[in-house]
Structure 1
Amino acid sequence: MAGRIPRDFIDDLIARSDIVDIVDSRVKLKKAGKNYQACCPFHNEKSPSFTVSQDKQFYHCFGCGAHGNVISFLIEYDRLEFPEAVEELARFHGVDVPREKGSAPPVSAEKRQQREDDYALMEKVAQFFAHQLKNHPDAARPIDYLKQRGLSGEVVKRFGVGFAPPEWDGALAAFGRSPELQQQLLDLKIITQNDKGRRFDFFRDRIMFPIRDRRGRVIGFGGRVINADDGPKYLNSPETRIFHKGHELYGLYQARQAHRALARVLIVEGYMDVVALAQFGIDYAVASLGTSTTPEHIQLLLRSTSQVVCCYDGDRAGRDAAWRALENALPYLKDGVELKFLFLPDGEDPDTLVRQIGKEAFEQKIDAESIPVSRFLFENLLGRHHVGSEEGKAALIAEAQALIDQVSGDNQRQLLEERLFKLTGQDSYRLDLQRDMAKANSATNKIQAPAKQKPAGKSQLTPVRIMLRLLLEQPELAAQCAEVQPQLLDVNLVPGLELLGEVHSYCAEHSQKNSAQVLEHFRSHRDFAVLNKLLSSDAFSVHDAIGELFAQSRQQVYRDSFAKLVERQLHSRMEELLARSRLGKLSDEEKQELKVLLSAQS
C-alpha cells in the first residue's frame, strides 16, 4: 500500500497552482472586479453566484455554499478521492507525487509514461468500438439488439457502448501497426495469441461495455454476446497492469458524475442491468466485474454513499453471492451506513424487471422489500443451525458472535447482539452487565478527560472568530504580532480558543503560507469544517461586520481582540479566587494574586 503524501509536497503543490487556471479549465470564468465568477457547477442556477478569488486561492458559491481550495475543487468537480485529486494536480504541473518512508517504491518515469500510454490506447480502442457500432457493415444487427433491449441512443452514448466486429483482426489491424504496439495490445488483452504464435482480437462479435475507473479512464472491457449460442454470455478483460477487477465497479464513474452526493448505490450483477436501469432513470447502479462483491468494492462504495443495496437473484446462487457480500462487508459497517439485500423473483433480473414495471415501481420495491443486514444475517444462520437443540443453539451463537464482533460500528454491533440474545432466548444478564460496564467506563473517562472543546460559534463576532478569520485572511499576522500568544491562555476559557492557538502557532512558523495552504494544513483537523466555513462565509464581501473591521488596521484589530481574551481570562481567574476565598481556602500567594486582580478592576 502506498504511503502518505508528504504535507510539504501538498503545500508546495498548492503554492504552484493558480485556482483560476484549474477552475477555468472546467468551468468558464469571467472577470468580476478582483475576482472571477461563473454559474455554479454544483447546482443549477441562472445567474452566477460562484466566485473564485485569485488572491486567496479560494472558491465560494453564495447559492449552495460550496467552497474550498484547489484540491477541494478537484475532489468535488472531478469526483475524486483526496489522493487522486493531489495526483491530478501534480499531473497538471508535470511533477511526481512522492510518498513517505515505508511506502511502495516510487513509480519510475518510464512506468508512468507506459501507464499514460495504456490509458490513451484503451480510450482509442473504446472509440473504435463505438465507431463500429455506427459504421460497420454488420452494425444493423447489434443496433437492433440494443433497441430490442429498450436502450436509447442517449444512454448508449453515455456509457460508450460499442461493437467488437466479427473479424479476427478488427482491433489488431486498426492499432497493431508495429511490433511494439502489438505487444501493448497483447499486454492489455485487446488481442490474444494462440500456441502457434498467431495473434487475433480477444473480443469478437460482441456488444462492448468500456469499464472506467473512478477518474473516467478506460481500463478494461466487458463483451456480451448478441446471439445466445455464440459462446459465454459475458467475456471480461483479464487482469492487466491497469485493470484489477476486484477493485473496480462498472458504472460507478457514471453514477458519481450523475450525482454530486449519492444517497444510495444499487449493486447488480451485469453490465446490461446497469445500463438498462440508467435508461429508466435509476442512475445509481453498479456491477461487479465477473466476481463476487469484494471488501475493496464495499470500501469503495461506502466512501461514496451511506446506503448500499445488493440486488441478486432469489435462487441459491444469488443468496450465496449475497452471503459472501455480507461477510466481506461486516468489518466496514460503521454507524451511519446501511447494507441491505434485495432478492428478485425467479427468472427476473433488474434489466427485465425495470422494463416491466418502470422506475417508480422498481424503486418502491427497493424501499419495501430490501432486507436489512440484521434480518438477512439471522435468517441465513437459522437456516443452517437447529436451535431446537442446545448443541445447535450453541453453534449458532458461536458463529453469529464471531461475525458480529467484526462489525466496526458500536451501535450496529449492539443491535445485532440484542437480536442474537432474543433469538436464542439467552439470559440478558450478561449483555446488561456488559453495557453497565461500558457506561461506567464512559463516565469515568468523561470525569478524567478534559472537556471537549466546542468549535467557535458562528452567529457572533467573538474575539476568537475575528482572530481566526484574520489569520486565515492574512497568515503573516501571527509573526507580525509576536506579543500575541493565544496558546498561553486557558483553552477552557471560551469555545474555539484551542483551535485559535493551533492556527496561530502554525501561521507564526509558516508566515509565508497563503490562505489556501493554511486551510489545507488543517484538512484532517477535527475543526476543519469550522475553518472552511469561517473563511468562506461572505469571503469576498467587505460589507459585513467582519469586513468593516478588516477595513481598519488588521494588526490593531488582532491585538485588540487578543487583549479582550486576556481581560476575560483575568476576570475569570478573579471570580475563581473570590469563590474559593468564601470557603477560606486561599494560600498566601493566591491572596496576593486576588488583591492585584481586584486593584486592577477598580
Structure 2
Amino acid sequence: MNQWIPRTFINDLLSRTDISTLINSRINLKKIGKNYQAYCPFHNEKNPSFIVYNEKQCYHCFGCGVHGNAIDFLMNYEQLQFIETIEALAMFHGLTIPYNHVKYKNTIISKRFELYQFMRKLNSFYKKNIKLKQAHIFLKKRGINQEIIDTFSLGFALPTWNSLLKKFGDYNQNFNFLKKLGMIINSNIDDDKHIYDRFRNRIMFPLRDKYGNIIAFGGRILDIDENNSSTPKYLHSPNTEIFHKNRYIYGIFEIKKQQHIIPQILVVEGYIDVLTLVQFGINYVVASLGNAITKEQIKNLYQITDKIIFCYDGDISGRKASWRALKIALSSLTDERQLFFIFLPEGEDPDSLIRKIGKHAFERLINNAESVSNVLVDKLMLKADLNNPEGYIKLSKIAFPLINKIPGDIFRLYLRKKLANKLGIIDDNQLEKFIFKMNNNKLFHIEIKHTTMRILIGLLIQYPNLSIFISDLKDIEKFRNPGIPLFVHLMKLCHKNPKLNTNQLLEYYRNHSFYQNLKMLAIWDHKIPEDMIKLTFIDTLIKVYDSILEQYQNILIAHDRKYGLSEKERRELWILNQNLSKYHHEN
C-alpha cells in the first residue's frame, strides 16, 4: 500500500519522529544509559524487558521478541494498517500527505475521528435519559448504584422508534453517520422512509476501545420486556469500520485505567455481571459479549495478562460455552500463560451469586477455580468407555489432537503425561529433561551466528554512513553468492540517499520476506567496539572479496585445465586481483 505515498515523504516522516517520545506518550519509559526501558505493551510481564534504542530509532522486547521502528510500533500498538499509521504520524507532525493516488485523498484517520466525536454525542444523548423512570426502576431493582452508572457511562434508549432520527437526522452528515455506525435500520433498502432506531427501550452500555473512544453500543432490554421471546436480551452494534465484535471485550478500558499490571482477568457473559462484580470490589472482570468467545478475544486478553478465569452462567449453555472457550484457548497457551474455570451452581450467574454469598466467598471461588488441565482431562475421560480397547483408541483420537494445539512445550508434555497416567500408561522422564533444558536458557540474549555476510550487512544497517568508504561495487555485484545481492542493494540505496539512518533504511524493505531478519540485525549486539566499526567493516569486505576470489580462481583453474582460459576471463581475474590489492593497500 505504500506505493501510494512517496518514499521521500516516509523518510522525512521518520526523520522527524523521535521514537522514544512517540512511545513514551503511550507507555512509561525509564532512561537506562543511552536507551530506554519499559514493561512491554505487547505481553504481560513482571520485569521490564522492552528496550527503546534512541540512537538506532528502534525497539526490541527480550520477552516476546517484538521489534521494529516507529511505524511498526504504531501499527502493533494502535492496531492500524500501514496507511493509517502514516496518516497518524503525519497528523502528529502537522503534515499533509502528498498521495500519489486519488484513492487516499480522503484520509482514514480523519474520518475515524469524526465517527468517534459523533459516538460521544450519541452517548451524551443516552446518558441524559438514564434518569427516566423506567431506566431508574430497572437499575434500582438490579442494585446498580450511581457510582457504577457514572463509571461505565450508562444510558437509556427511548422506547420510541425514531428518537435518534429526531435528534440527529436533520443533517445529511449525521444521517450518514447513523447509517454507517449501524444505529438505524432500514427495513426497505429502496425507501429511506422505513427507518427506525436499532436500540429501543434498552439500558445502553457504551463500548470503548483501550484508549477510551466509544466505538459501539450494547443494549439490554428492561425486565418488563423479557416475556417477549422474539426480543433478544442483549443487542450489540453491528460490525463497522471502528468496531469488530469478534475482537472486542467489554471492560478492558476500565481495567487498564485503574492498574498497570493486571495479574488476572475474570471473563463473564453479560454487562450486568461486570457492573455488579466491580461494584462489589472485583475490578478485574470483563465480558465477552455473549458466551461465544473468539480466538481474537482470547489473544487480546493474553496481551494484558497471563491468567484468564472463565466464569459463565451455571446452566447447560454456560457449561457448553466453557468447553468451547477451552478448546479455542488451547492454541494460545504458552508455558507462561494460565487458564482456569469456575462452574457456578445450576441457575446462578455471577450477578446473582455474589449478591447471595458476598465478595469474600465469591473470591474463594475464584481462588479455587479449576485449572484447564483438570477440566480438559476430566472432560475427555467422559467421552470414551475405557472398559474396552476401542474406548482407549477413541480417547486418543480425541485427546491428542487437542493437546497438540498447545504451543507451550512444557505444558503440552505435562498434559500428555497427565492423560497417560489417567490411562495407566507409564511415561518416561521426558518432561523433567525438558524442564532442565528450559531452565538453562539465557534471558535477554539474541543469538545470531557471526558470518562474514551477517557482519557486513548488520554493520551497514546499523551504520549506513559506512557506505561512503566503499565507492566501487561493479566487481562484487557480478557475483550471486548468498547475501551479496542484498548487500549491493543496500549499498546502492545508501549511496543514493547519503543521509539515510537505520530506521529509514529498514523501511525500504518492509514488504520483503527478509524484513524481519534485517530488523533483528539492526538491534544485533555484535560486540564490536565503536572505534573498530569502520575497520571491521572494511576488513570483512576484504574477506568477502578474498572468498569470492578464491572460489573464482578455483573455477578458472578447473576450467583452464579442461578448456583453457579466454582473454576476457584472464583479464577479469587480473582486475579482481588489482581491486583486492588496492583495498589491502588502502587499509
Query: Which residue matches 1:558?
Result: 533
CA distance in 2, matches of 1:363, 1:502: 62
- Give the C-alpha shift of residue 207 in structure 1: 1.4
Q: Which moved more, 1:341-350 or 1:311-320?
A: 341-350
Question: 1:237-295: CA deviations, max 9, x gaps?
Answer: 35344344233322334445555565443321012223444445544433222351123
- Give the C-alpha shift of residue 377 in structure 1: 1.3
**2:198 is aligned with 1:199:** no
Query: Which residue matches 2:154?
Result: 161
- Equivalent residues of 1:274, 1:285 under 8 A apart: yes
Output aligned runs, 1:4-43, within 5 Å. 13=10, 15-17=12-14, 18-19=16-17, 23=21, 27=25
Q: Which moved more, 1:221-230 or 1:51-60?
A: 51-60
- Give the C-alpha shift of residue 316 in structure 1: 2.3
Secondary structure of the corresponding residue to residue 13 of structure 1: helix
CA distance in 2, matches of 1:295, 1:318: 18
Is there any run of 5+ residues in structure 2 with no aligned partner, and where?
27-35, 42-50, 61-65, 91-95, 438-444, 477-482, 542-587
**2:515 is aligned with 1:517:** no
The structure-2 alpha-carbon separation of the partners of 1:337 and 1:128, relative to structure 1 and needing over 3 Å to count, comes to same
Q: How many percent of aligned residue pairs carry the same amino acid? A: 29
Query: Which residue matches 2:217?
Result: 221
- Equivalent residues of 1:90, 1:97 under 8 A apart: no
Query: Which residue matches 2:206?
Result: 210
- Equivalent residues of 1:13, 1:90 under 8 A apart: no
**2:257 is aligned with 1:246:** no
CA distance in 2, matches of 1:257, 1:249: 15
Query: Which residue matches 1:310?
Result: 310
The structure-2 alpha-carbon separation of the partners of 1:286 and 1:87, relative to structure 1 and needing over 3 Å to count, comes to farther
Paired letter, 2:156: F
Query: Which residue matches 2:84?
Result: 87
Output aligned runs, 1:43-442, within 5 Å. 70-71=70-71, 74=74, 79-81=77-79, 83-84=80-81, 87-93=84-90, 108-109=103-104, 117=111, 120-121=114-115, 123-133=117-127, 135-136=128-129, 138-139=131-132, 141-143=134-136, 145-146=138-139, 149=142, 151=144, 155-177=148-170, 181-182=174-175, 185-186=178-179, 188-194=181-187, 198-213=194-209, 217-229=213-225, 231=228, 232=231, 234-237=233-236, 239-242=238-241, 243-256=243-256, 258=258, 260=260, 262-279=262-279, 282-290=282-290, 292-353=292-353, 362-366=362-366, 368-426=367-425, 428=427
Secondary structure of the corresponding residue to residue 377 of structure 1: helix
Paired letter, 2:308: V
Q: Which moved more, 1:389-398 or 1:149-158?
A: 149-158
The structure-2 alpha-carbon separation of the partners of 1:220 and 1:417, relative to structure 1 and needing over 3 Å to count, comes to same
Query: Which residue matches 2:479?
Result: none
- Equivalent residues of 1:295, 1:328 under 8 A apart: yes
Q: Which moved more, 1:467-476 or 1:183-192?
A: 467-476
CA distance in 2, matches of 1:305, 1:97: 40
- Give the C-alpha shift of residue 415 in structure 1: 2.2
Query: Which residue matches 1:479?
Result: 468
Tell me how large the CA RMSD over aligned residues is.
5.7
The structure-2 alpha-carbon separation of the partners of 1:476 and 1:426, relative to structure 1 and needing over 3 Å to count, comes to same
The structure-2 alpha-carbon separation of the partners of 1:123 and 1:276, relative to structure 1 and needing over 3 Å to count, comes to farther
The structure-2 alpha-carbon separation of the partners of 1:528 and 1:22, relative to structure 1 and needing over 3 Å to count, comes to closer
The structure-2 alpha-carbon separation of the partners of 1:344 and 1:130, relative to structure 1 and needing over 3 Å to count, comes to farther
The structure-2 alpha-carbon separation of the partners of 1:182 and 1:6, relative to structure 1 and needing over 3 Å to count, comes to closer
CA distance in 2, matches of 1:279, 1:532: 47
Secondary structure of the corresponding residue to residue 344 of structure 1: coil
CA distance in 2, matches of 1:291, 1:107: 43
CA distance in 1, matches of 2:130, 2:298: 42
Q: Which moved more, 1:523-532 or 1:417-426?
A: 523-532
- Equivalent residues of 2:154, 2:204 under 8 A apart: yes
- Give the C-alpha shift of residue 318 in structure 1: 1.5
CA distance in 1, matches of 2:417, 2:313: 30
CA distance in 1, matches of 2:72, 2:135: 42
Secondary structure of the corresponding residue to residue 178 of structure 2: helix
